[in-house]
Amino acid sequence: MTDTTQIKTTPSALTRLWNSDVAWNFRRSWTARISSVLILILFAAALFAPLLATQNPYDISQLFLLDSELPPAWIEGGDPRYFLGTDEQARDLYSSILYGLRLSLIVGFASVALAAVVGISLGLLGGFVGGMVDGAIMRVADILLSFPAILVALLVNGIARGVLPPERHADAAIWVLILAIGLTNWVQYARTVRGSTMVERQKEYVQAARINGVSGMGIMLQHILPNVLGPVLVIATINLGMAVLTEATLSFLGVGMPATQPSLGTLIRIGNEYLFSGIWWVVIFPSVVLVALVLAVNLLGDWLRDALNPKLR
């Protein structure tokens, strides 16, 4: 009757993202913006560590023992070549922190990935199959959850160390850490995914797929999985902060990364041993970077949780 119908152009994916609720929320939130900028800087620093560093802290031939225990460049006795000072092995602290940050983030991401894969699989399986399988998975999860994460991680770590011969400890340290932290943190994913799976299982599209003769495995992976992944992103973000912190704690306790391949936690442990000689910089600078990283990831995770929660909109 009327010809006022407008021609609608489908907006590009980028425009839609820009106009979405989450993006709008992001533009309004100071904490989200500041923490994501900080995270981007730290990620870039870790990614390009070999380019940004002034020396390779793993390469002993680049170390000059005469330059050990130098204070930061702006303090009396500092050397401009070593901006943040050096440790007792004459490693440039600035370079060590970049490489350490890299290791901390690698362990963090890998263990989050491991926890997510284990947790999602078990949650999906438990929620879909139900019965005994579900009961067994959830009892294990309950028991695991009743112990503090650091204790479980230490235990897995200790078992792995006991299984491996002592001479392999240093090489395997990074894998042991990923395993220990990953196996500690899967419970949250499993619980969340299980809950949503049990809801999705009842829905009509699943019944339709079943009538069409899709196998149980096919329904789980192709139909239910994409619909239960939403909350996983939030858990993964918050978990990354936890994982980085756990790695730092284990390395600080001396059961994580070895001194020859220091992560941020190892650097803090090394610095702690020299605290009384007045060498404060070896302990302070890695701590500042660690705290900044964990705080930024946690703030972003908190924001993401609120932004994606429809109840709070």
Partner 1 sequence: MLGFLIRRIIQSVFVMLAVALIAFMMFRFMGDPVNSMVAETATTEERDAVRERLGLDQPLYVQYGRFVARAATGDFGLSWRNARPVSTLLAERFPATAELVLVAAGLSLVLGIPLGILTALRPHSFSTQALQLMSLVGISLPTFVTGILLILVFSVWLGWLPSFGRGTVVDVGWWSTGFLTLSGLKALILPSVMLCLFQLTLIMRLVRAEMMEVLRTDYIKFAKARGLTNRSIHFHHALKNTLIPVITIFGLQLGGLIAFAIITETVFQWPGMGALFIQAVSFGDVPVMAAYLVLVSLIFVIINTTVDLLYAVLDPRLRVEGARAAH
CB nearer to partner 1: give 32 or 116. 32
Closest listed residue to residue 193, CA positions, set 109, 137, 132:
137
- Give the C-alpha separation, 191 to 105, whole Å: 25
CB contact set of 261 (below 8 Å; sequence gap of 6+): 58, 103, 170, 173, 174
- Per CB under 8 A, which of residues 249..268 are in contact with partner 1? 249, 252-255, 268
Cβ atoms within 10 Å, residue 117: 13
Binding track, positions 154-183, relative to partner 1; x by CB under 8 A: xx-xxx-xxxxxx-----------------
CB nearer to partner 1: give 104 or 196. 104
Phi, psi of 170, rounded to the nearest 5 degrees: -65, -45
Contact region for partner 1 (CB under 8 A) — 97-105, 118-126, 227-235, 285-293?
285-293
Q: How far is CA 8 from CA 2, 5, 11, 179, 241, in A?
A: 16, 9, 9, 51, 43
Structure tokens at 184: 């500690």
Among 289, 290, 300, 304, binds partner 1 (CB under 8 A): 290
We find the least distance from the C-beta atom of residue 252 to partner 1, in angstroms, to be 5
Q: Is 29 helix (H, G, I), strand (E, B) or coil?
A: coil
CB nearer to partner 1: give 154 or 224. 154
Binding track, positions 205-244, relative to partner 1; x by CB under 8 A: ----------------------------------------
We find the least distance from the C-beta atom of residue 175 to partner 1, in angstroms, to be 16
Cβ atoms within 10 Å, residue 36: 18
Contact region for partner 1 (CB under 8 A) — 34-42, 80-88, 151-159, 186-194?
151-159
We find the least distance from the C-beta atom of residue 162 to partner 1, in angstroms, to be 3
Contact yes or no for 43/89 (Cβ under 8 A)? no
CB nearer to partner 1: give 1 or 276. 276
CB nearer to partner 1: give 38 or 155. 155
Question: Measured on CA atoms in the order 81, 85, 91, 93, is the torsion positive or negative?
Answer: negative
CB nearer to partner 1: give 17 or 151. 151
Closest listed residue to residue 96, CA positions, set 134, 150, 131, 45:
45
> Which residues are near partner 1 by CB under 8 A?
143, 146-148, 150-151, 154-155, 157-159, 161-166, 245, 248-249, 252-255, 268, 271-272, 275-276, 278, 280, 283-284, 287, 290-291, 294-295, 298
